[in-house]
Each structure stands twice: as structure tokens, then as C-alpha cells.
Amino acid sequence: MLFLQKIYAMDPNAGKKDLINRYSREELEARLMAEDFKRVTVSFYRYVILDDPQAFRDQLYKEWTELNCLGRIYVAREGINAQMNVPEHNWETFVKQVHAKAELKDIPFKIAVEDDGKSFLKLVIKVRERVLADGLPDDAYDVTDVGHHMDAEEWNKAIEEGAVVVDMRNHYESEIGHFENAILPDSETFREELPEVLDKLKGKEDQKILLYCTGGIRCEKTSAFLKHHGFKDVNQLHGGIIDYARQIKTKELPNKFHGKNFVFDERLGESISNEVISHCHQCGEPCDSHVNCANVACNLLFIQCSSCAEKYEKCCSEDCQEVVHLSPEEQKKLRAGKEVRKRFHSHRRWEEIHPETKN
């Protein structure tokens, strides 16, 4: 709490812009590890028209800094999308503050399945044009005309009855875990995924469509998009994979999700079943642990087992392994030239580095 207050005091305009990280990652991790209380990792979203997104953001920043919350939150005219953690002793106050806002009244929270309380290191709240970029004009379709929300029991029954299941996450997310028999798009961004899914579903306009994602926000837009394009029976998993895991546990329902759920925080994943359905990108052994390449100029997100992590020193390739052995000055010079970043700028570049792993 003190270090967040210190940041706020150092910059009286901190509430007017993104949190400036005045500490190294190592310092932030050390402070978090030294905490003697638990944190609750939570995600939530809502599509709601905000008249003044900046003012809304500033108020949230002030309140959540005082509660010592950490996380990554996006605010836009179309609503809010939040992934964050909250000190357990401040949880009730947090919930009351959020629900007291007319725009967020009774907003549902998705609590993390596996949580060590170390999911985020700092608080960042950004104002964006969209909380979820789809690459389409504002009037392309009505984002409020969404599909039917299914609970876990309805969802399982629909799968058993042969409905068409579509994963609305990026390919690196579905690689480590997905629902059985789901259509798995090969996209890296949501804006790429919408047209790809529309193409994959051609001829299925009259069938029952089931959409799912991590917490529900991507399905919310996709369901409206598909309805706009003539799909008659569009459904989405209420609360996404996160809430599905909670429901099947509390209601003792069969689990139709195989593997791990990718999450966009320090954990990078939480197990929904005990299965490991993916493989290390370097040796091919069963593995579902995502890591970022130790070469900061690369930062490639990939799957790496513990043996390869030791062998390659947490790097994605021998090229990057060579880079991490350079002096800090040499690495800085290399990054300034942007050659490494240009070469390793996306997850899909993995196939160019290791063509033998391409399916």
C-alpha cells in the first residue's frame, strides 16, 4: 500500500494518466512477495456507454489505488474490461464501490480458479477507443443485440446434443486447452478472428452456435456480429471458461473442457482439467506452460518445458540465447536497431524459426 501511495504522491497528476512504473520488475515482485495478506484475482466487463471515459478512469484509479488494487484495466466509451487483484481484506469495500456506480451496478465478477495472489504487479488503467478492438466501424453492427447466455448445465447439454462449438480466443490460448470438438480459429487477434469465424461457419446459419472465451467479453461482441450476419440461434457461455470451472465444481457437473485456461496475467494459465493437451515447442514433450523469451527484445510467447528452459536458458532459440549473453550495453544497441524485435515480433514467427514444428 505504501509504495502505491508513494507513487501517487510523487506525481499529483497520476490520476490523469497511466500509472508510471518507477520500480523495476524485480522490486515490484519483491514487494508483492513480502505482503502478509492474500489477494483475490478477479475479472469483469460490461458494455455500457460512458459519457466521459477519462473521468470514469480517473475515479477508478483513485479508488483502486487507495484499496491497493493491482491489475490491467481498459476503459472506453463502449464500457470497461478489467483483470485485476484485490487485497482480501479490502474485497467487500471494493465490491460495494464498484456496484455503487450506476454504470457497474450488479456487474458479475469472475473469480480466478487457481490463485496465488501474484497475478499482477502494478495498477494500470488505460483509456482506449474500444475495450475490445474488432477493426469495424461503430455502426457495423449492434453490439447490444447479443446471444443467449448459457450456464454450465445448459452448455454441457447443448454440446451433447451436437451444437457447433466455437472458441473465440487466440490460437495460442486454445492450444493449451479447449472444449471438446470446438472449432479453433488460427488467429492472433480478435479483429482477425471475426472474419475467420464467419467464414468457418458458412452454411451453418440455422444451426445452434455455442461461443466461448476466457471471461465472456469476446463472445458478447461475436454473438452480436453473427446475429447481424443472419445466424438464428447464437449462444454464449455465461462468465466464460472461468465461471464454467466454478459452476461445474459447485454443481458437480461433468467437465467438457480439456486442458488449461490461458489467462492474461503473471500466471499465464490455470488448470481446468488434469489433462496436458499441448507440447513443448522445442522438444515436443507434453507441456502446457507458456513463457516469454528471456531475450527482452524478442519476448516471444511460447510453450517451454522445464528441461528446455534449462537448456536454452529460458530463451526460444539459440539466436536469442546468444543475445542474453551479450553485455547490457550490447543488448541495448541491438534493441535500438530493432533487428531482433523485427525478427521475433509475433507468436506466429515461431514457425519460421522452427519450421519442423509446423502442422
* The dihedral formed by the CA atoms of 15, 18, 22 and 26, expressed in degrees to the nearest 10: 130
Distance CA 178, CA 194 (A): 18
Contacts of 16 (CB under 8 A, 6+ apart): 58
Ramachandran region of residue 97, left (φ > 0), alpha (ψ -120 to 50) or beta? alpha
Q: Enumerate long-range contacts of 307-311, CB under 8 Å, 24 or more apart.
A: 307/283, 308/280, 308/282, 308/283, 311/282
Count of CB atoms situated within 10 Å of the CB of 17: 15
The catalytic site residues sit at: 213
Beta strands 257-261 and 233-237 are unpaired
Count of CB atoms situated within 10 Å of the CB of 104: 18
